[in-house]
A and B are shown apart, each in its own frame.
Chain A
């Protein structure tokens, strides 16, 4: 279909005010937080489920590709229109539809910003647990599509553990309900497979989320180390002692320095590593568990321990952690972040390998990670104008993925496969595994119109 007639048809379907097609807009929607860029053929910002359904049906009838998109903070190219098509931007659908506190559920449109929702819930004394570092800007729809994590996922699980139902638009424009406010609905767990499917199966137009009452007590500790191995070994020892805190976060020296320079949160810039350990739950026994954790830290040569005395001190520590990517981003023009994940006991040796890879490719790597989950975030720093450096970055990233796979881990813990990690899928899945996933894709989207070219690599060998 000619671009011009496509645009005028979309204007007819959703209104002029909800269609963008200027050169500037194409540039604004050509990227996400990865290095991948590609312009969509048209951008629509629907305001209702009906509009989404109409656009998708129109696209289906004319075999045009569609790519759903939220705030574009995803880190692997998942929301970039690599094969053109219509970018369906969900940010105008940003209403909290139903605060059903009685049933511990909220129903939201996908464009609701995660932190906005959390702030509204906090006023009622309730929590939506997932807390991706980008929660200030990311949308619930995007969080679900990527299955976003965050520090508190160690104890509470990732986004898909908290999204229990959805209204979705299928590839042909049909609107169906999946899951719901109640648990254990009969049938296949379609919600389960939709989480992390990166918009390749359907577009979510409403989501039912689980909320919970705020914990009675929280304790946040900042543990400072002179050696990164000691920090890593502490993590392993805490889990090994049978303690699963709410968070177990770690940062290396490069990250600490960058964060301190950017935010002045009081991190010691000469430390080799810091751990942020948080406990939550009932106040009873918490002091004793804290003492056990601190004893483990001491056994592993902790240099200094700071226990946050109040909410303000806690907020300061977390501001440092959540701002880490931004702070590191100030060091060089670009960074590429991996999120390979390993069994948590193999964290120290994996880290050592990451350091080696940085040396081998002559690239600075800042490390900030969800240590308790074994989820690494090596931020490889570079300047994309330097073509040689850019090549080394991709080689290093691939090598890090391989290390994680070889450690019995996986290539992506929470950022998604998108386009960036497609070539790593064969490190962890056989052609048969991928063929089974492809059958799911075909069942949802027989014409391969929904965000094509993402998540599943081409596998000619696949049976």
Chain B
């Protein structure tokens, strides 16, 4: 029997025939950067994941964990790919401690399904994460890629929310870190190490997180400007005030237009929490905007409000942008960097839309369909964007791009001095390169 056949048999035995895809035609859909795996398996339990990884470790197979696949275009080209590990069947809420405001949920559940359940239980609560791909993104994928959205301005990201997690190590060990208390310094904080590690140190099977009570009230304020400098000035004033919006997004004219608003520089604020505080902040920020020279303000509530934020979160889907870049830098650099990016893109003749988390120093560039044809200028532009972010203590990560482009650029930005530690961590924790080889920072 050939090796391939042996593997097929072993995998089927581990997860059951119905949960292993071996037919090359069906497998194609699971290719990563054009590289098709030999098998796609969907284990039904953590124990099955453990068996699978122990087998892969022994046989030196390369495994790529996967949820709904919304981020499979992200990361470096795999060095090797044997098995795609679908986590979709491991998708239960394992504990919802309502009075304690904590939750344990498995990797394969989608965030949207989870939020629905949480909102409907007791007085209602939510997990304050609002990453892209709203209806599809799974908990495991969101945490493994540290995906976040506009509301991180108030609620921060997974590293500040998670209390613990369970994972399967590359050798098959089932491990649990942290716990369900809001404070915990027992042992190393492996939870934080696993968040955003791209499944390269272990496959996350379950997380335990804090929850927040649903806010009493919510409103959205849109403030438009003719110039970027004025819009930037408003975000700066709000950032340094005592006001507490949950989101503060700065976008260029193109993005604003794509969202169905006037083609102006737009600052979108989400205000939520105690009713009185929402009622006060909407007019107050509106006034601040007018002082900065706003040409228009608009208040959204209810369905209009929800629909706007959905379109912001899912802007990649709205625009079908084939290339998405995420730049990070010091907070005050937001307007200046957006301005230089706009100019650079114009000079290169590449069509872009920009949306930034103005209170966090994160800017997402969506390169639109008609910009991608010009690979040469695009490669050059990504280099310039990266250098500009680096000037402001930052970097640039390519969040999505066609495989052909990956050969010509560094999808993880400029390497930093801590690469030496990351390399050693990967070698120690995954000595046989089982998990996602080649896809993470430094081609780890």
Contacts and interface: CB of A to CB of B under 8 A. Distances in A.
A185 B416 contact: yes
Contacts of A343: 97, 100, 102, 180-181
Given A182-B328, A185-B395, A214-B242, A373 B183 contact: yes
B195 A193 contact: no
A416 B417 contact: no
Given A188-B422, A284-B277, A425-B186, A182 B330 contact: yes
Interface string A81-108: 0000000000000000000111111000
A363 to B, nearest CB: 24
B302 interface: no
Given A282-B244, A436-B429, A444-B421, A188 B239 contact: no
B99 A157 contact: no
A214 B171 CA distance: 48
Query: Which among B125, B171, B183, B421 has the greatest number of chain A C-beta atoms within 10 A?
Result: B183
B183 A370 contact: yes
Interface stretch (A24-32, A238-246, A325-333, A390-398): A238-246
A188 B416 CA distance: 12
Given A185-B395, A213-B240, A414 B185 contact: yes
Interface string A395-420: 00000000000001111111111000
Interface in B395-444: 395, 397, 412-413, 416-422, 424-425, 427-429, 440-442
Given A157-B160, A439-B429, A428 B275 contact: no
Interface string A244-268: 1000000000000000000000000
Contacts of B212: 244
B328 A189 contact: no
A455 B101 CA distance: 29
Contact of B197 (A178, A188, A415, A432): A188
Contacts of A178: 418, 421
Interface residues on B, range: 35 or more
A277 interface: no
Given A157-B160, A161-B160, A188-B193, A417 B186 contact: yes
Given A429-B176, A433-B177, A147 B429 contact: no
Interface in B126-153: 146, 148
A436 B181 contact: no
A437 B190 contact: yes
Interface in A413-453: 413-417, 421, 424-425, 428-430, 432-437, 439-444
B243 interface: yes
A180 B414 CA distance: 14
Contact of A195 (B189, B201, B417, B441): B189
B421 A190 contact: yes
B159 A443 contact: no
A170 B182 CA distance: 30
Contacts of A341: 181-184
B213 A242 contact: yes
Contacts of A337: none
Contacts of B180: 343, 408-409
B291 interface: no
Interface string A275-300: 00000011011101100000000000
A343 B182 CA distance: 8
A188 B425 contact: yes
A239 B429 CA distance: 39
B328 A409 contact: no
A39 interface: no
A441 B193 CA distance: 13
Nearest to A409: B181
Nearest to A214: B242
Nearest to A126: B240
A430 B174 CA distance: 10
A176 B397 contact: no
Contacts of A154: 182
Contacts of B417: 175-177
B100 A442 contact: no
Contacts of A284: 274, 276-277, 279-280
B26 interface: no
Nearest to B389: A182
Nearest to A170: B421
A192 B425 CA distance: 14
B182 A373 contact: yes
Contacts, number: 264
B148 to A, nearest CB: 8
A54 interface: no
Nearest to B412: A186
Interface residues of A, number: 96
B313 interface: no
Contact of A187 (B99, B148, B330, B422): B422
A432 B50 CA distance: 13
Interface in B29-72: none
A53 interface: no
Contacts of A289: 274
B205 interface: no
A176 B421 contact: yes
Nearest to B125: A242
A138 to B, nearest CB: 15
Nearest to A288: B276
Given A161-B156, A188-B196, A433-B175, A443 B421 contact: yes
A153 interface: yes
A463 B360 CA distance: 42
Given A184-B328, A342-B181, A240 B190 contact: no
B257 interface: no
Contact of B99 (A345, A370, A412, A443): A345
Nearest to A161: B160
B379 interface: no
A153 B183 contact: yes
Contact of B274 (A196, A285, A414): A285
Contacts of A193: 188-190, 192-193
B193 A413 contact: no
A167 B430 CA distance: 26
Interface string B191-215: 1110111000110000000001110
A183 B185 contact: no
Nearest to A375: B183
A147 to B, nearest CB: 5
A281 B195 CA distance: 29
Contact of B186 (A100, A285, A428, A440): A428
Contacts of A185: 328, 394-395, 416
Contacts of B96: none
A344 interface: yes
Nearest to A401: B186
Given A193-B193, A196-B188, A282 B183 contact: no
A344 B125 CA distance: 17
Query: Which among B146, B393, B422 has the greatest number of chain A C-beta atoms within 10 A?
Result: B393
Given A153-B183, A177-B417, A188-B197, 12 more contacts: A187-B440, A188-B193, A239-B101, A242-B101, A282-B274, A286-B274, A341-B183, A410-B184, A412-B186, A425-B186, A425-B187, A436-B169
Interface of B: 97-102, 123, 125, 146, 148, 156-157, 159-160, 169, 171, 173-177, 179-193, 195-197, 201-202, 212-214, 239-244, 274-277, 279-281, 326, 328-332, 360-362, 392-395, 397, 412-413, 416-422, 424-425, 427-429, 440-442
16 contacts: A103-B331, A105-B330, A180-B393, A187-B419, A187-B440, A188-B197, A193-B189, A240-B98, A288-B276, A341-B182, A435-B173, A436-B173, A440-B188, A444-B421, A455-B187, A463-B173
4 shortest interchain CB distances as A-B pairs: A192-B192, A242-B213, A285-B276, A285-B274
Interface of A: 100-105, 146-147, 149, 153-154, 157-158, 160-161, 170, 174-178, 180-193, 195-197, 213-216, 236, 239-244, 281-282, 284-286, 288-289, 341-345, 370, 373-375, 408-417, 421, 424-425, 428-430, 432-437, 439-444, 455-456, 463
